Chains A and B, each alone.
Chain A
Amino acid sequence: DSGVTQTPKHLITATGQRVTLRCSPRSGDLSVYWYQQSLDQGLQFLIQYYNGEERAKGNILERFSAQQFPDLHSELNLSSLELGDSALYFCASSVVPAGGSFTGELFFGEGSRLTVL
């Protein structure tokens, strides 16, 4: 058990809908990362937050947004869903942000599997 909790584990919805994925990082970790895993694209970095502030942005669509709350949990909001958004969405956490001299590993949750029909 990595200590990172993601909910829901599975989600089935229709095109055009909006969903929210939730992540609770490990106790003490200030940094949260969101990744999307799909068969054709592999593991793609979406966005990173550190202590409530956005630190880095990757291949995140404009239809997607995220935030990190004062209690350090994070939510990833996916709207106007398309079939191609079906994927496994991972949250990871670390004590410090991945930048500069950070050499530590990320701790991943078990993911939220989104199916868009």
Chain B
Amino acid sequence: AQSVAQPEDQVNVAEGNPLTVKCTYSVSGNPYLFWYVQYPNRGLQFLLKYITGDNLVKGSYGFEAEFNKSQTSFHLKKPSALVSDSALYFCAVRDRRGNTPLVFGKGTRLSVIA
């Protein structure tokens, strides 16, 4: 069975500082990995995905994520945080084999303080 762990419920960072939101995953084969963001009273929005190739994936709004197979991690990063980045972030994984929907982590609330 596939699963995702986001070890931090809350991450606080000062505006202008780099941010990292952690994610580790477990799948039986090679994963497809995704990050989504949820703003208050809104649905989830796609940020970026890892399918294959370069381990560093760039996405929307200046976010990037690094796939690390040996550590089964896919941490979300941004070099300089903005107050507007404050939101709930979800990591998701899917096994490449079979008909398996996306499995989401429980989410990490990012708070960027001015």
Contact = CB atoms under 8 A, between A and B. Distances in A.
Does chain A bind chain B? yes
Interface of A: 2, 4, 33, 35, 41-43, 45, 48, 55-56, 58, 90, 92, 97-101, 103, 105-111
The SS class assigned to the B binding surface is loop
Given A103-B49, A103-B51, A90 B44 contact: yes
Contacts of A48: 101
A98 B49 contact: no
Q: Looking at chain B, what size class is its interface with the partner chain?
A: 20 to 34
Nearest to A31: B101
B46 A105 contact: yes
A97 B99 contact: yes
B100 A98 contact: yes
Nearest to A2: B43
A105 B49 contact: yes
A107 B43 CA distance: 9
Contacts of B51: 103
A45 B41 contact: no
Contacts of A42: 104-107
Interface of B: 32, 34, 36, 41-46, 49, 51, 90, 94, 96-107
A42 B42 CA distance: 15
12 contacts: A2-B45, A41-B106, A43-B90, A45-B102, A55-B99, A58-B101, A90-B43, A92-B44, A99-B99, A100-B96, A103-B51, A110-B42
A56 B41 contact: no
A103 B94 CA distance: 9
A2 B100 CA distance: 22
Given A105-B49, A106-B102, 9 more contacts: A33-B102, A35-B104, A43-B107, A45-B102, A58-B101, A99-B99, A100-B96, A100-B97, A103-B49
Nearest to B43: A108
Contacts of A92: 43-44
B104 to A, nearest CB: 4
A100 B42 contact: no
Given A2-B45, A4-B43, A56-B99, A98 B105 contact: no
